[in-house]
């Protein structure tokens, strides 16, 4: 009888040990399974780059609207990168993500974002549409995405600086703030004369005294941080992936808000009057 009880005790102990071992295996498996879910997403890695607007950016109408809660009207002008090629949901394009992120950062903000992108459009094509597709909306801020089709399909980045500066002048004529956005960091762009176009856009921003949001640098730095180029680029090697559109829109929204905050913190310059 005593041996039988000892045997039952041994079996019970063995079962407990087996259950504990099985529990440990399940716990380890759960950790391994949940690991990718906790890993940083492509969008989060891209946003961590914290791309800002270039130079001493000033956006007086935008800053005033953000400070008072709006209304703030933004027109996004450009080509298929603005329209959001390969995205069926307008909310998932970069202008759609810009709107949602601005509203997240500024709860209660009265905001309207108008997407005036058009597939295959060029810098001259954009300028020809300004009256109808931009100025007619009387925007507070215009984001002008340029350069991709001009250099990719037309293979020309020469003599465009003057056209861009003229376009900036037209957009600012009614007092709107303007932000330029350059090309994307993608295989098709890198195989073109992209450096000439990048220099032309940066030069035009300086001459036109408007800030530049460098999508090219945002994506390049995200790749340097460990992302594959395919994480932010669609299958065609040119347009953004879903994560690329999201990062572009949200990063731009954060850059705009950061510029507005910096403007509020900068004390006004003391003007010395002549005696």
pLDDT of residue 39: 54
- To which residue do tokens 């005696």 refer? 275
Give the list of residues 6+ apart from residue 69 with CB closer than 8 angstroms, or none: 106, 108, 109, 110
User: Do the Cβ atoms of 138 and 75 come closer than 8 Å?
Assistant: no
pLDDT of residue 29: 31
Q: Which fold has domain 42-265?
A: Rossmann fold (3.40.50)
Give the list of residues 6+ apart from residue 118 with CB closer than 8 angstroms, or none: 78, 79, 80, 83, 125, 129, 133
Domain boundaries, the chain: 1-32, 42-265
- Of 42, 60, 92, which Cα lies nearest the Cα of 219? 42
pLDDT of residue 45: 97
Q: Is omega for the bond preceding 71 within 30 degrees of 0, making it cis?
A: yes
- Rounded distance between C-alpha atoms, residue 275 and residue 92, angstroms: 58
Average pLDDT for runs of 10 along the chain of length 275: 47 43 36 40 97 88 97 98 96 98 97 97 96 98 93 65 95 96 96 90 95 98 97 97 98 96 60 38
pLDDT of residue 157: 56
């Amino acid at each position: 009888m005593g041996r039988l009880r000892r045997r039952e005790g041994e079996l019970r102990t063995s079962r407990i040990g087996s259950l504990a071992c099985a529990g440990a295996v399940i716990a380890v498996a759960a950790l391994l399974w949940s690991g990718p879910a906790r890993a940083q997403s492509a969008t989060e890695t891209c946003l961590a780059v914290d791309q800002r607007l270039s130079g001493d950016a000033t956006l007086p109408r935008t800053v005033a609207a953000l400070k008072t809660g709006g209304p703030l009207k933004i027109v996004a002008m450009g080509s298929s990168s603005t329209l959001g090629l390969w995205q069926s949901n307008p909310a998932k394009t970069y202008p759609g993500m810009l709107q949602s992120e601005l509203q997240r950062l500024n709860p209660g903000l009265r905001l309207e974002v108008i997407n005036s992108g058009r597939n295959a459009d060029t810098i001259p094509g954009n300028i020809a549409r300004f009256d109808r597709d931009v100025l007619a909306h009387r925007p507070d801020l215009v984001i002008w995405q340029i350069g991709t089709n001009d250099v990719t399909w037309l293979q020309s980045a020469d003599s465009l600086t003057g056209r861009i500066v003229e376009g900036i002048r037209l957009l600012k004529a009614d007092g709107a703030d303007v932000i330029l956005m350059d090309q994307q960091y993608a295989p098709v762009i890198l195989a073109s004369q992209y450096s000439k176009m990048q220099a032309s856009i940066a030069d035009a921003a300086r001459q036109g005294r408007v800030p530049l949001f460098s999508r090219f640098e945002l994506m390049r730095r995200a790749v340097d941080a460990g992302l594959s180029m395919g994480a932010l680029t669609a299958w065609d090697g040119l347009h953004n992936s879903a994560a690329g559109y999201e990062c572009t829109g949200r990063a731009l929204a954060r850059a705009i808000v950061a510029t507005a905050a910096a403007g509020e913190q900068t004390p006004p310059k003391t003007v010395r009057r002549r005696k």
